[in-house]
Amino acid sequence: MEKYLDFRNEINYIKLKQVAESIVQGKIVVFPTETVYGIGANAFDEEAVKRLYNIKQRNLSQPTSVLVSNMQMINSIAEDITDVEYKIMEKFFPGPLTIILKKKNVVPNIVTANQATIGVRMPNSEIARKLVKYANVPIATPSANISGKPSGTQLEVILEEFKDKVDYFIDGGASKLGVSSTIVKVVGGTPQILRQGSITKEQIDCIL
C-alpha cells in the first residue's frame, strides 16, 4: 500500500483499516483530527511510543495523551473516574477536549512520563475516530510537529518535517479548528484548565 493516502475528498475505509492494523503492529502514522494533525502509535506498544518520541524529538519527561473511540476503551485504561469527570466526557466527547484521568497499570509509563494520570481524548473526526476504532487500541497521539514548532494543520508542512521517518501519512485536508484541544483536570471536584483550546472553562462549568 502506498505511504501517502489522500482522503481529502473521500475516505477509503479499506485502506484506513489497513493503516489501523499497521498501528497495532507498531507502525507510526500521521493523520488529521478536528483540532490539528496528530502523529500516532499504539499506546500499548512501548517500543512504538519510544520511536514516536524520537521522531518528534520530544523529551521523555513529557507525557502524551491518547485517543480513544468509546467509553469502553476509556474504562480499559483509566480508573476511579469521578461523576464530574463522567459529566465532562458525556458533554464534550467526541470533541476538542482532553481530560486528565487516573491511569491503570496497563498503560506503559513511557506514555505518561511515569505519572499516575493519563490524558484522554475522543476526537470528533471521522478519520481519527475510525482509525482508533479499527485499531481497537488507544493511540498515543501528540501533535504532528517537531517539538517546539507550531502544531501542523496541513499535511504539506508535516511531510517536509517527517519525510521518511513515518510509515503512513493520511491527508484529510486542512484542520477544521486549527487549535490544540483544551486540557482539563478535575481537582477536588473542580475542573481546572491546563491548556486553553476552543472549549472554555465557562462552557465546562455550565454543565456542572
205's enclosing H/E stretch is: helix 201-207
| Confidence category of residue 1, pLDDT binned at 50, 70, 90 | confident
pLDDT value at position 163?
84
The 10s digit of each residue's pLDDT in 79-122 is 999 999 999 999 999 999 999 999 999 999 999 999 999 999 99
Instruction: Please report, for the chain, the start and end positions of each structural domain, with discontinuous segments joined by +.
Output: 4-207
| pLDDT for 113 | 97
pLDDT in tens, 26-76: 999 999 999 999 999 999 999 999 999 999 999 999 999 999 999 999 999
* Mode of pairing for the β-strands spanning 168-171 and 190-195: unpaired
- Dist CA 170 CA 113 (whole Å): 28
Q: What value does the mean pLDDT of the chain take?
A: 96
Cα distance between residue 88 and residue 191, in whole Å: 9
Tens digits of per-residue pLDDT, 8-33? 999 999 999 999 999 999 999 999 99
pLDDT of residue 207: 86
The pLDDT assigned to 150 comes to 87
DSSP string, 159-196: HHHHGGGSSEEEE--S-SS-SPPEEEEEETTEEEEEE-
Report the DSSP pairing between strands 97-103 and 182-187.
parallel
pTM of the model: 0.96
Q: CATH number of the domain at 4-207, please? A: 3.90.870.10
Q: Which three cell numbers stand for residue 145?
A: 510537529
